[in-house]
A and B are shown apart, each in its own frame.
Chain A
Amino acid sequence: MTLTATRTRWLQDNGVYVAVVALLLFNAVFTANFLTLGNFRTQLVQAAPVLIVALGMALVIGTEGVDLSVGAVMALAAAIIPLYLGAGPVPAVLMALVAGLVAGLFNGFLVAKVGIQPIVATLALLVGGRGLALVIANGQLVQLHDPAFLALGTGDVLGIPISVLIAVVLAVAVAALTNRTTFGRQLVAVGGNRRAAALAGLPVNRVLIGVYTICGVLAAVSGVLATSRLGAGDPADMGLLMELSAITAVVVGGTPLTGGKVRVLGTVTGVVLMQLVRATLIKHDLPDSIAQMIQAAIIVAAVYVARERR
């Protein structure tokens, strides 16, 4: 291997980390009030829901799938919370998580047992799920007043926002799941070559259903946290286009869409990178139009660098 090849390879694997460090340095020098605790707090709180969804998405993409329904699942969670909040925050959150579980099971069943392609299977729930959420909520935004529930999105533990803590715990859990458990190995094997995994006797269907279920539950968790932070159940806007943000973060983080590989730390960094990019553009008063075009360029550049050579 020549030096250039080694260097290319290194850049492919670590480009996203380099980009985050570069962006942090840029902001430290050029952005006023960037290196403040308040700012870091805001950035992390904003990134937490995306990160939680992206973790599930990374697992799904690792199996050579994709889950387009995550935004709709968040909307379902947002619609269900107000219905059960009267019985207390715990039942409300549990019901929202159950909705995510059912949605994930449903997706997993369609992909694993019926054999429908992940894009189409989850597209059905994307189209129908948000409609269902709106039907449940009568198309209304519902203000929430339960202090215990609202604390989830706004409260702190040891000075760290609760939603950020939950995101970190989940990231560690997902990393442990992929790297330290049989399930994680099976997941990557299924994504690498489904037929070979089946022939090797791996429980392919169970792995697939499990992965989509995890993704559904994580999307619901994200929906719960975002709803709590907003202080209202808003199924019309909750999680809109979240599937695209999550997929972007996962792919920018170095998990290939072709499956067989899951990079959890890369996904976390991908989320942070996209959040930093947005924050940088906003803080320098660049309009939304330019911001979107720059994000497009970053996605292409990141995937171009990380692509596998023919």
Chain B
Amino acid sequence: MTTLTAATRTKVLQRQGSAVALVLVVAVSWLVFPRFGSLDNLRDLALQGSFLAVIALGMTFVIITGGIDLSVGSVYALGGVLAAWGSQYGFLVALALPLVVCAGIGLVNGLLIARTNMAPFIVTLASLLFARGLLLAITDEGATTYQIPPDSAFVELGRGTVFGFGYPIFVAAALCLLGGVVLNRTSSGQNVFATGGAEQSAILMGVPVARTKIGVYTASGTLAGLAGALTAAYLQSGVTVIGVGTELDAIAVVVIGGTLLTGGTGMVLGTVIGVGLIKVIQNVINQIGTLDSNYQSVVSGVFLLVVVVLQRVLRR
């Protein structure tokens, strides 16, 4: 009986570890930094986190199937540039163009991975280069930054607010909610888990493994493109230099959230908590004005390490 409760406790800790950490970090920050708890700061925090959350949502699905998507950082930047370029033709083009192109890149990723037995790491590494190259090609080698007309309705998508909270926060929240429901309550979600858990068995059981893989990579590309479009709307321009290394941020928050890179298990809520943790830590480091901003990445790295080591130790 004691072993059972110990096991249960470990399991709870494993599942809720990052949530507990988030609550602790928030509580401490709130007490130590008076400005942390201000509504303005929290709104800003949520907004900054929302872009990463949209990208990491797609990454969660990909990683649960046992894959990885390194292209999302480049695709994110490409989505922003396409949205800014498209905004001169109106709201619909600005939104649809990045989604369609980035979904296309994701689809090609998925097709190559599912149909040709090539490693996801390599395929998406190639599309990382390709998407960045495409971005450079449409921006005169990065020299042109497309501006979004300030009176464009598209700007409202990034800068509009409800009770001071930006629209991207609601978009991210709605998508994560939808993602959680799809993952846990639909047969497609079950297919995602089955594909990552034991691919051969899944194939034998009749799970549409290839279709599932194509689906998750397409979703990941689309979401990265959407995040780029939202960012462009918020910044009112298609900044060409963003997104370098964003794929690693996304992977880190997914892992911190308890999704295993081996595939087969994972949860959307964990990813959201992971985003929260990273963003709160970055925010706190910014609050300590005297601290070199380079400490941000040091702390993020150490934090990632602590989380994965703890996960590993608890799983034993």
Contacts and interface: CB of A to CB of B under 8 A. Distances in A.
Interface of A: 66, 68, 110, 114-117, 119-121, 123-132, 134-135, 138-139, 244, 247-248, 251, 257-258, 287-293, 295-297, 299-300, 303-304, 307-310
Contacts, number: 139
Name the interface size band of chain B.
35 or more
Contacts of B134: 289, 293
A137 to B, nearest CB: 9
B133 A291 contact: yes
B308 A308 contact: no
Contacts of B295: 131, 135
Nearest to A247: B125
Interface string B108-120: 0000100011110
B68 interface: yes
B123 A300 contact: yes
Nearest to A257: B119
A298 to B, nearest CB: 8
A132 B294 CA distance: 7
B312 A124 contact: no
B126 A130 contact: no
A116 B309 contact: yes
Contacts of B116: 304, 307
11 contacts: A68-B248, A120-B304, A124-B302, A127-B252, A130-B297, A132-B298, A135-B292, A139-B292, A248-B125, A258-B119, A289-B135
Contact of B133 (A116, A134, A288, A304): A288
A287 B297 contact: no
A129 B304 CA distance: 13
Q: Which 10 pairs across A and B sit closest by C-beta, in order of nearness?
A: A128-B301, A131-B297, A292-B133, A289-B136, A289-B137, A293-B133, A296-B130, A127-B301, A134-B294, A131-B298
Given A251-B122, A296-B128, A309-B117, 14 more contacts: A110-B305, A116-B309, A120-B304, A123-B251, A127-B301, A128-B301, A135-B292, A288-B141, A295-B133, A296-B126, A296-B133, A300-B123, A303-B118, A303-B119
Interface of B: 68, 112, 116-119, 121-123, 125-130, 132-137, 141-142, 248, 251-252, 255, 261-262, 292, 294-302, 304-305, 308-309, 312-313
A127 B248 contact: yes
A191 to B, nearest CB: 14
Contacts of A130: 297
Interface of A is mostly: helix
A293 B119 contact: no
A139 B301 contact: no
A251 B252 CA distance: 24
Contacts of B301: 124-129, 131-132
A258 B121 CA distance: 11
A121 B302 CA distance: 11
B300 to A, nearest CB: 5
Given A287-B141, A290-B137, A296-B127, A127 B297 contact: yes
Contact of B136 (A247, A257, A292): A292
A20 to B, nearest CB: 19
A104 to B, nearest CB: 15
A129 B297 CA distance: 8
B288 to A, nearest CB: 14
Contact of A131 (B121, B132, B294): B294
Given A114-B312, A117-B261, A247-B125, A126 B248 contact: yes
A119 B261 contact: yes
B294 A299 contact: no
Contact of A124 (B261, B304, B313): B304
A291 B294 CA distance: 32
Given A123-B252, A303-B118, A304-B118, A128 B309 contact: no
A131 B296 CA distance: 7
Contacts of B125: 244, 247-248, 299
B135 to A, nearest CB: 8
A128 B302 contact: yes
Contacts of B248: 68, 123, 126-127
A244 B117 contact: no
